[in-house]
Chains A and B, each alone.
Chain A
Amino acid sequence: MVSLPPQRLYGYTGRILEIDLTHKKAIKIETPRELARDFIGARGFGAKILWDRMKPGTDPLSPESVMVVSWSPFTGTSAQSFHKVFVMFKSPLTGAYFRSVGGGFFAAEAKFAGYDAIVITGRAEKPTYVWIRDDEVEFRDATHMWGATVDGAVEMIRDETDKEARALAIGPGGERLVKIACVVTDDYRTPGRGGSGAIWGAKNLKAIAVRGTKRPELFKPDEFGELVREQVEVFKKSPLLDPFQRLGTNSIVYQFYTLGHHPTYNFKNIELENAEVWRPEVLEKYIVKHVGCFGCMIRCGKRWKLTKGPFAGLYHDFPEYETHWSMGSTCGVTNLEAIAYANMLCDKYGIDTISAGNLVGFAMELYEKGIISEREADGLRLRWGDPDVLVELVRKIALREGIGNVLAEGAVRAAEIIGRGAEKYAMHSKGLELPAYDPRAAKSHGLSYATSNIGGSHMIGWNKYEILGMPEKVDPLTVEGKGELTKRVQDQIAAYEAAGWCAFAELVQTAGYGSVEKTMDWMARALYAATGVEEFKDPKHIWLVGERVYNLERAFNVREGYTRKDDWLPERFLREPFPRAPAKGQIFELDRLLDDYYTVRGWDLKTGTPTRKKLEELGLKEVADELERLGKLPA
């Protein structure tokens, strides 16, 4: 960290937009060069700005709550798939640090408007949307669109601003402060997890719409162009390109069920009859259109059309892998039409499909166990596999109706409200409802669930080594070496997310190269060519940024009071052996795995907190100082 970046930050716009909703002020601040050098952008910017700006103990739904919406120096360039929108905040669902990732076109458009990130603070007096056109930022009345679904609000905003505007918006779920509500992109490539929509609802912020006419200037455009050509060629030879282009994430539902990664019946994980509906050739029949995000040749998005059954006529974004699980397997539902319909409701109402389905499965198990009755469930018989119950419960959660009002609080709070031992069946980690992998069937992936700074996320440590056997195969059922593997995967993801990259694109590129190192080396070269930041030349610096981001996110949680006891998984995984092949008989060895992981991370074994030595090694001395001042740094 000796050399300074050049005077000009190429690739970046050089400005961060702060939106103060309380005072209707738009403040443009220079993007600090040190912030770019040390955190790159996107998730890195979010972690650093939240650490600096959020006081510990802040209520996520208060005006003091800060949200960062950001992207990267690659965003809006010709680089493939680096145009994701990252949303960082303190979660109203979990109380911990959160980052969620969406796609679409919003990030590129906001970059074209001239910004590297948007920081949202305060609370508007009445429903408001923010309209950004290059340097002009307007706070507009959204009273007339309050209550509308996401697509309705986007249509009204485009009528009032620009037909080509790109937007993030909330639906009725966010307005009602549903804890699993999300901000939704205008094309449903949504940063879905963690409750971002409730924060916007609490801030009276219906949407942010943007149009931009600028283009990022690159440090070495010719060299950058060559690197993008290399990237495209690697994509073309990657074995993962064709499956993603044909079916998106639907290409793996049935396989993952077979490999033990697709839990059933609220993680009881018994055999699911009729799982063959998720064979790729069945799912492919519903696809009528392929869609993609800005600057991505993969085009993994698909539109489904339903022509039969009670939901005939539906034409909408397809259910992703996770949604087939959350609306399907974990509820015992194999009716694809109902899954597609429930998925559409989530998109329009603006709630997270993963958490919503997890909560329906949770309610179904409570009903099975006699913990909640038909009367308490508004007259619904919450039987496993009932597609009508699925759709009705999703609607009730989004609109906070009846039992939906309880489930809308998320699994942890809902279990507290219900009582009677319901918490045993709440499948979450740190309050975030678990997604479509079973920790017992992939130990490093499970360890990432437990240690994730955002709670039970599959994407914070998606383990290609265990799940795909790529770039090299690692036995998913062993525990040896899993601390190191988990750290490596988490740090790599944090690094490429700091560069604004899509996880799917990274998989495609790494499969094409056959090597993670080659991918990271390419990214370092491309980052340098885009920005001119000397440090980016060295892949070790990029890895270091990943580890720095991960530790800073951890420190945020430590400051909020999180310790080892929160790196936790439900008792089901620790005590109940996995009942079916291939992981039959497996349990999750939490304590052993945590000890290994903390040791490799250089964190205190007793508290799971980064040590001063580790933080200083990562250039985070001021973070160590603050934790020490608060009495939260291990001795």
Chain B
Amino acid sequence: MRVYVEFLGYAAEKVGRRWMWLEAETGCTLGDLFAKHLGSTIGAELANALTEAFTRRELAVAVNGRLVDRLEHVLEDGDRLLVFPIAAGGA
């Protein structure tokens, strides 16, 4: 399956790209995607850093516009991921 990953803010700066398509196996979790498939594209070190930032809740991931908070989240073909530094605002 294929998933679309879009990066914002410092995630985009670190990755050096705003978006990419990633190939993954059926049943792939968010954690697997970061560790294996993103790692093979941008390097394991950077992929690990992003995973740790997600675990520390410094980096947020939305799948099809809905926030996910677990690396165990199972992805589906055609999912659109937005990876962004957690940020807030209102006024």
Partner of A503, one of B62, B67, B90: B90
A506-521 toward B: CB 8 Å interface, digit per residue (1/0)? 0100010010000000
Chain B residues lying within 8 Å of A255, measured Cβ to Cβ, are 8, 60, 62, 82, 84, 87
Q: Would you call B69 an interface residue if the criterion is a C-beta within 8 Å of the partner chain's C-beta atoms?
A: yes
Which parts of A8-48 form the interface with B (CB within 8 Å)? none
Q: Which residues 50-91 of B have a CB within 8 angstroms of A?
A: 56-58, 60, 62, 64-67, 69, 82, 84-91
Interchain CB contact under 8 A, B89 and A459: no
Q: Does A599 belong to the interface (CB within 8 Å)?
A: no
B90 with A582: CB separation less than 8 A: no
Q: Which of A150-158, A242-250, A536-544 contacts B (4 or more CB under 8 A)?
A: A242-250
Beta-carbon contact of B69 and A581 below 8 Å: no
Which of A251, A281, A468 is the one whose CB lies under 8 Å from B12?
A281
Q: Which of B57, B62, B89 contacts A504 (CB 8 A)?
A: B89
Checking B8, B9, B18, B88 against A507 with a beta-carbon cut-off of 8 angstroms, the contacting residue is B88
A contact residues around B82 at 8 Å (CB): 255, 258
Choose from A243, A249, A473 the contact partner of B91 (Cβ within 8 Å).
A249
CB-contacts of A115-165 with B (<8 A): none
What is the bound-complex CA distance between A503 and B91, given in angstroms? Answer: 9
Partner of B87, one of A244, A458, A469, A503: A244
Instruction: For residue A184, give the distance in angstroms from its CB to the closest CB of chain B.
Output: 14
* CA–CA, A582 and B87, complex, Å: 19
- From B58, B69, B89, A251 is in contact (CB under 8 Å) with B89
Partner of A280, one of B9, B67, B90, B91: B9
Residue on B nearest A354 in the bound complex, by CB: B91
CB distance from A61 to the nearest CB of B (A): 26
Tell me if A252 counts as interface (CB < 8 A to partner B). Answer: yes
Q: Does B64 lie within 8 Å of A252, measured CB to CB?
A: no
CB distance from A124 to the nearest CB of B (A): 31
| Known A243-B9, A281-B12, A582-B64: A249·B89 in contact at CB below 8 Å | yes
Contacts of B66 in A (CB 8 A): 259, 582
A321 touches B86 (CB 8 A): no
Given contacts A255-B8, A473-B69, A581 and B86 within 8 Å (CB-CB): no
On whether the beta carbons of A504 and B69 are closer than 8 Å, the reply is: no
Task: Looking at the assembled complex, report how far the CB atom of B20 sits from the nearest CB atom of chain A, in whole angstroms.
Answer: 16
Q: Which one, A239, A248, A252, contacts B56 given CB within 8 A?
A: A239
> With contacts A251-B9, A281-B12 known, is A239 near B65, CB below 8 A?
no
Cβ of A470 under 8 Å from chain B: yes
CB within 8 Å for A239 and B9 given contacts A244-B87, A259-B62, A470-B86: no
In the complex the two chains form, what is the Cα distance from A50 to B13 in whole Å?
Answer: 50
Type the 1/0 row for A231-267, where 1 means its CB is closer than 8 Å to any CB of B. 0000000011011100111111011001110000000
Instruction: Please state if A251 and B85 are interface contacts (CB–CB under 8 Å).
Output: yes
Q: Are A280 and B86 in contact (CB under 8 A)?
A: no
* Contact partners of A564 in chain B: CB under 8 A: none
Expressed in whole angstroms, the Cα–Cα distance for A507 and B64 within the complex equals 25
Residue A320 CB within 8 A of the other chain: yes
Q: Is the CB of B67 within 8 A of A259?
A: yes
Quote the shortest CB–CB distance from A244 to chain B (angstroms). 7
Q: Which of A243, A260, A279, A459 contacts B90 (CB 8 A)?
A: A459
Q: In the complex, which residues of chain B have a beta carbon less than 8 angstroms from the beta carbon of A280?
A: 8-9
With A243-B9, A251-B9 as given contacts, are A259 and B87 in contact (CB-CB < 8 Å)?
no
User: Is A433 interfacial (CB 8 A cutoff)?
Assistant: no
> In the complex, what residue of chain B is closest to A472 when comparing beta carbons?
B69
CA distance A254 to B86 in the complex (A): 12
* Of B69, B87, B91, the contact of A320 (CB 8 Å cutoff): B91
Q: Does A322 contact B (CB under 8 A)?
A: yes
A464 close to B (CB within 8 Å): yes
Nearest residue (CB) in A for B58 is: A239
In-complex Cβ contact of B8 among A254, A322, A469 (8 A):
A254
The answer to whether B90 and A321 have CB atoms under 8 Å apart is yes
Residue of A239, A252, A320 touching B57 (CB-CB under 8 A): A239
Closest to B84 in A: A255
Report the separation of the CA atoms of residues A504 and B88 in the bound assembly, to the nearest whole angstrom: 8
A242 CA to B58 CA, complexed, in Å: 10
| Chain A residues near B58 (CB-CB < 8 A) | 239
Instruction: Tell me which residues across on chain B come within 8 A of A252, comparing CB atoms.
Output: 87-89
- Closest chain B residue to A320, Cβ basis: B91
Alpha-carbon separation in the docked complex, A625 to B10 (Å): 57
Is the Cβ of A259 less than 8 Å from the Cβ of B9? no
Question: Contacts A255-B8, A280-B9, A281-B9; is A243 near B62 (CB within 8 Å)?
Answer: no
Q: What are the 10 closest A-B residue pairs judged by CB atoms, nearest first?
A: A582-B65, A249-B89, A243-B87, A239-B58, A251-B87, A321-B89, A469-B67, A473-B69, A582-B66, A507-B88
- Can you list 23 residue pairs at the A/B interface with Cβ under 8 Å? A239-B85, A249-B91, A251-B89, A252-B87, A255-B82, A255-B87, A259-B65, A259-B66, A281-B8, A320-B89, A321-B89, A322-B90, A459-B91, A462-B90, A468-B60, A468-B88, A470-B86, A473-B67, A504-B90, A511-B86, A511-B88, A514-B57, A583-B65
Chain A residues in contact with chain B, CB under 8 A?
239-240, 242-244, 247-252, 254-255, 258-260, 279-281, 320-322, 458-459, 462, 464, 467-470, 473, 503-504, 507, 511, 514, 581-583
Further pairs besides A258-B65, A470-B86: 4, Cβ < 8 Å? A239-B57, A248-B89, A251-B85, A251-B89
